[in-house]
Amino acid sequence: MRTEMFAQLRGDSGTLTELAFCEDHHALPEAVDSGEIDAVIVGCETGFSEFGSYNEFLANQVGVSYQFMRDQAEWNRHQNERVSLLSFAGSGDSGLRSLVLLPYGGSQPGRGCLSYHTFESDLPSRDFYYNVAYEAFRIACEHRQARRIWMMNPAAPWSFHRDIATCVCEALAHWCDATPAHAPTSVIFNVVGESGDERAEGMRKRDFSGVRALNAEGGSTRHRPISRQSESVSDEQGNRVELTHLDWWS
């Protein structure tokens, strides 16, 4: 798998996490098989999206039926009124330790104003993407013991908004500072574009322009704990998913 490292996050306790781009949207199966990644974090949109492209492969990796995983993702996107992450453990013969499906902001009328966009400016909510990302890293790295993360855009296919990219990396930095024993060694962002594409290169520089400042800021900020509740859902065929519900606004 060809990647391009663009930054390193240095934790307070000496941890070092490499951040890299991968432009190849077909690289995921090979990266899992080769052990280059052991966790996937992706939004739950099942249509023309990263998750939609890989959902059958991912279902096999975590040992659940494609239909069960799709149904859970669709429920989370269209019916669930809470902000919830869905997580699956890798099956015994899989190279994947963890799959985390992120909530789709704005899919529910009551949830949209607090999560996906700020009401005044129609920009991504930093609170939403920061807290969702922090919890995703907790599930993958602490609960599932993953260390090499593949992350796809949690908001829309193929490109990260700059505010979202900064919030995700800030959440990662806070996670590494708070729990150095569970800090990932690498996070690979699957991004739009082909090698040599000047437009795509400009998008990457724009979208991730705030990341390098996180090291310079040092220990100026810390994660503020929020309320979370967990439950498991299974069916008669033995398919199982864990749900984590977040609340930081009540």
The pair of structure tokens assigned to 17 is 């996490």
- Whether 2 is covered by a domain: the verdict is no
Closest by CA to 247, choosing from 137, 84, 134, 80, is 84
- Whether 6 is covered by a domain: the verdict is no
The pLDDT tens digits of the residues spanning 3-20 come to 888 888 888 889 999 999
| pLDDT (average), residues 216-220 | 57
Burial class from Cβ neighbours inside 10 Å (0-12, 13-18, 19+) for residue 90 reads buried
The pair of structure tokens assigned to 18 is 């490499």
CATH number at residue 116: 3.40.220.10
pTM comes to: 0.89
Q: HSE (CB half, 13 Å, CA atoms) of 169? A: 30
- Whether 161 is covered by a domain: the verdict is yes
- Whether 224 is covered by a domain: the verdict is no
Higher pLDDT, 24 or 235: 235
C-alpha 89/C-alpha 182 separation (Å) is 17
Alpha helices per DSSP H over 39-184: 50-62, 66-78, 109-115, 126-137, 162-178
Q: HSE (CB half, 13 Å, CA atoms) of 97? A: 19
- Whether 225 is covered by a domain: the verdict is no
With beta carbons less than 8 A apart as the criterion, state whether 64 and 239 touch.
Answer: yes
With beta carbons less than 8 A apart as the criterion, state whether 104 and 44 touch.
Answer: yes
* Residue 109: predicted pLDDT: 42
The pLDDT tens digits of the residues spanning 93-150 come to 889 999 999 987 654 444 544 554 544 556 677 888 899 999 999 999 999 999 999 9
Burial class from Cβ neighbours inside 10 Å (0-12, 13-18, 19+) for residue 71 reads middle
The boundaries of the domain holding residue 37 are 20-219+234-247
pLDDT band at 68 (very low <50, low <70, confident <90, very high): very high
List the strands of the sheet with 83-89, edge to edge: 4-10, 16-22, 186-190, 148-152, 39-43, 98-102, 83-89, 240-247, 227-234
**Virtual torsion, Cα 30, 33, 39, 40, nearest 10 deg:** 30
Alpha helices per DSSP H over the chain: 28-34, 50-62, 66-78, 109-115, 126-137, 162-178, 198-207, 213-217
- Whether 195 is covered by a domain: the verdict is yes
User: Per the structure, how many domains does the chain have?
Assistant: 1
Q: Which long-range contacts (CB under 8 A, 24 or more apart) does 215-218 make?
A: 215/7, 215/8, 215/9, 215/10
pLDDT band at 53 (very low <50, low <70, confident <90, very high): confident
- Whether 13 is covered by a domain: the verdict is no
- Whether 10 is covered by a domain: the verdict is no
Ramachandran assignment for 143, one of left (phi > 0), alpha (psi -120 to 50 degrees), beta (any other):
alpha
Q: List the single range of 48-52, 76-80, 178-182 with lowest mean pLDDT.
A: 48-52
